[in-house]
């Protein structure tokens, strides 16, 4: 039985003997039996970089918009008053990076704490409690730093609970 190798570019199977070592490739000859050149020209790299930047910006706008409209609806339900719409936008703009920082802190903390616990229910309760706390802290800090909006504690706790449920629904691995 001969050893089969897969092409890096298209995952087609071809015999091992067809692979040409790079130091023996002549000019104009393909390396792995392909006619296309994997190297990109300068303009192709620029187009790729701009496309990836726009895709990243679009993803950030989508997440920011979801947060903005979600919190605007939540604040409307709980009759939270804010001075201007810009204070709500500042609230979300400050909340997103704080949430990302605390998400990293949550993962670090969970990685250090959960392996030390033995019982399954202790692990589940600890994970829920730690995650809830690290979701609530950015909400509290953002409320304290933005002066144009005052969010009551019960609204912060409801928002943290909703974000915890959303986080557990999005999470791929469950305990």
Q: State residue 14 phi and psi, 5-degree precision.
A: -150, 155
Using DSSP's 3-state secondary structure scheme, residue 144 falls into helix
Q: Enumerate the H helices of the chain as residue ranges.
A: 42-77, 85-113, 120-145, 153-170
End-to-end CA distance of the chain: 43
Whether 147 contacts 88, CB under 8 Å:
no
Q: What is the H or E stretch that residue 13 is in?
A: strand 13-15
- Note down pLDDT in tens along the chain; length 175 residues: 455 555 555 555 555 545 555 555 555 555 555 555 567 777 888 898 899 999 999 998 898 888 889 888 888 888 888 888 888 889 988 998 999 999 999 999 889 888 888 888 888 898 999 999 999 999 999 999 998 888 899 999 999 999 899 888 887 665 4
Where do we find the tokens 């201007």?
Answer: 84
What's residue 170's pLDDT? Answer: 82
Take residue 110 and report the two structure tokens written for it.
């969970």
Report whether 3 contacts 12 (CB < 8 A): no
């Amino acid at each position: 039985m001969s050893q089969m190798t897969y092409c890096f570019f298209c995952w087609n199977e071809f015999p091992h003997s067809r692979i040409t070592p790079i130091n023996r490739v002549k000019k104009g000859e393909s390396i792995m039996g392909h006619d296309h050149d994997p190297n990109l020209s300068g303009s192709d790299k620029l187009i790729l970089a701009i496309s990836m930047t726009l895709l990243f910006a679009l993803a950030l706008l989508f997440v920011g918009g979801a947060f903005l409209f979600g919190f605007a609806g939540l604040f409307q339900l709980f009759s939270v008053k804010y001075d201007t719409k810009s204070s709500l936008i500042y609230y979300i703009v400050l909340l997103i990076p704080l949430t990302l920082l605390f998400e990293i802190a949550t993962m670090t903390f969970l990685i250090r704490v959960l392996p030390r616990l033995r019982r399954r229910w202790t692990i589940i309760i600890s994970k829920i409690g730690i995650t809830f706390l690290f979701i609530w802290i950015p909400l509290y800090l953002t409320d304290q730093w933005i002066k144009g909006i005052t969010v009551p504690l019960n609204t912060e706790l409801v928002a943290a609970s909703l974000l915890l449920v959303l986080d557990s629904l999005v999470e791929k691995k469950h305990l």
